[in-house]
Every structure is written in C-alpha cells, then in structure tokens.
Structure 1
C-alpha cells in the first residue's frame, strides 16, 4: 500500500514558538490574514505573504509581494522567485522563523536517481511552474512560452503543426500568426531548457510541419 508523507514547519521564535504546522497537498498560503493556511502572528508580515506549493513530492516557497520579504537559509527571495525547501532549512517570513522538516528526506528519489543520465522535466499547470530534476526554472517562462510548452507536453510524442501552435498560443490574433513568430518562440523555450539541463532541449523539429516534444526523460516515443 502506498502512502504520502508530508513536510512540516516548526516555529522557532515569537508568540508561536514551538508550534508545528503540517503542510498538505497543493498550495498553502502564508500571511497575517486570518484566512491564510499558516497564520503569522507578526506585525511585520504582510496579510498575504507567501505561498508554499507541493510539486512532485517537494515543497517550494515563493514570495507573493510581501513588504518585508522571505529568506531561506539567509538567502532573500526576489518577488515570485521559488526555492525548494530541503530538510532542516530555516525559512524566515518577515521576523518569524521556521525550520522545515521533511520525513521523506531519507527516502529514495527515483526520479532524481534517473536524472543522472537524463534530465527529468515536469510541468505544474496550476502554478505555471516548470521543474527540471525537481528544481523550478528561474526566472519562470513567460506566459506564451509556458502555453507552448504545455501544449507540446499535452501532446507528448505527437507532431503539432505550427498552425495549431499559433491558434493555441495566440488566440487573440484572429488574422493568424507568421510561422517565423512560432519558430522564434520555440527557439526561446529550447534555449531556456537547454541552459537548465546542460543541452537537452526536449523539443524536436518535424521538418515542414511543426514540432513535437520528447518524453520527460529525453527520449522520443
């Protein structure tokens, strides 16, 4: 029988010192507002301070425009930057510090072991994150870059025409989109993926037609 383990945050200072918060599936909101999943008793915290997303068994924290910021192990996050939380990491929201504890830290991560020979790519449509070997692509892809990658990922291994791509990514362009615009967009996405993986672009040209996406381990279907 399979089961899921959940990370938790342990408050290290302030009025809530010693409090433990178990992180659930999906997204947890952090802030001073009473409707947040993790409420901060900290006058320097913003009402909506941060979000913690669970993706592929990992937890990512991101600043959503807080006034006094977030730091992970003393690294201050920029707005919308995501950082993977590792076991024992100290996360500071404004003046309140938490220690992240991950019971899955000692479990074997098959995807990461496999990624030693082939990069693993994952998409999370709700948060529009792209993860390479469990690490979020930073800075994130633009809106249209993500839409392109999502379309090709949904049609994994299938050839998708430039016309289909143009219609899906530029629905507002009723007069059509030039093939050169599609080519440039694909080139930019390939470049971002190649930079993050050391050369794997994941997207293959289908000459005279369009493009197809290779499977997440870098092999064709």
Structure 2
C-alpha cells in the first residue's frame, strides 16, 4: 500500500518512512502544501499522513484540495496541536482519523491498518474470495485452508486484486501500487507478468481456481 507523508520535519518524516517501509508500505515524502499537491495530482495513494502546520500553508488547505479534486485516499492528520477544534475541523473536513505528536510509531501503524479495514475491507482483517482467504494482520494467504508460501509483494498483489475485483487494473497501476511512483520511468512492466505467473502457480498448486484474467492491451482483472 502506498502512503504520502506530508510533514516538513525531515527527521520525523524519515523516521515514519523508515518504520512504515519496514512494514511493507511504499512511502513518498512531501514537505509542503505545493509539493504534496503536485504529487497528489500525478499519483495515487492509499493513505495521506497530513501535518496540520506546513511552511507554505496548513493541512486544512490541502485537505480541501483533496476533497475538491475527489482524490480517493485514507487521510490521517498528524499535528503537534491537540486542541479539540483542530480535531473537529480536520474530521469535519473529511479526514478519517487524527493523531497528536508525539506519537508511537506502532500506534500510527495500528491506526493505518484500522482505517484500511474500516474503509476498504468492510471492517474485517479476514478477506475471502471463494476458496481464497487473506489475513491482513498476519499477512497470510490460504487456499482451501492450505497456507500459501507467498512473498509480501505477492500477498499485496493478491489483496489488491481482490479489493478491486471485476475492475481492469493496468500494469502501470499495479506497478505503482506495489513498488512506488518511480515505476513511471520504467521502459516496460515485464516483472508484473512474472509476479502474476508465480501467484497463479502457487494458488493452483493448492487447488485454487485462476481468477486473474489477462485483458489484452489493458492489464489484468480479478474475476470471480
């Protein structure tokens, strides 16, 4: 999952980025309103961690931009200010949650996972698609109750397909979701095919059906 960290404190931004990347998130940092607005206009993110006080504006200004442009992302406001009216303004402005500095990184991680379960997974950490079952807490995938030996990237790929079932996902969208914005500069996406091939092979070996359809010229679709 991809996260945009909008925080002008470079030390805090780096600390959050390093921790979340160790938890298999793809992180991009922005250090001001203009920087964040440009990234949000060019790329998609699952989460936006939004500082309220930025050198060229405030978090509420960027929050209004996100809502005006109908950008879909889970928004967590982070701020040193713990006044009740700041929380209310952020939540009423469309933020999903609010955390006050200083905070513990495991708490931040837990809040992100809770937001994702609530907004994308109907509140559950167990996701099923016929005989396939994913546990987003343990990062485990099972087919007919058989535990699959898959990598974290393969788990994220399968989760991405299931959450977006029946939608055609381009190779560009898959690459960017799993590996970050730098993939825009790649000449080809042949590695996507290899990851999907490996995932199909492992599901089939456990007796599962192949729900991943190749949509020629467009990408892939998870079709139940």
Place the TM-score, normalised by the shorter chain, in its bin.
0.3 to 0.5
Q: Which has the larger radius of gyration?
A: 1
**Higher helix fraction (1 or 2):** 2
- Per the normalisation by structure 1, the TM-score is 0.39
Which protein is richer in strand relative to its size? Answer: 1
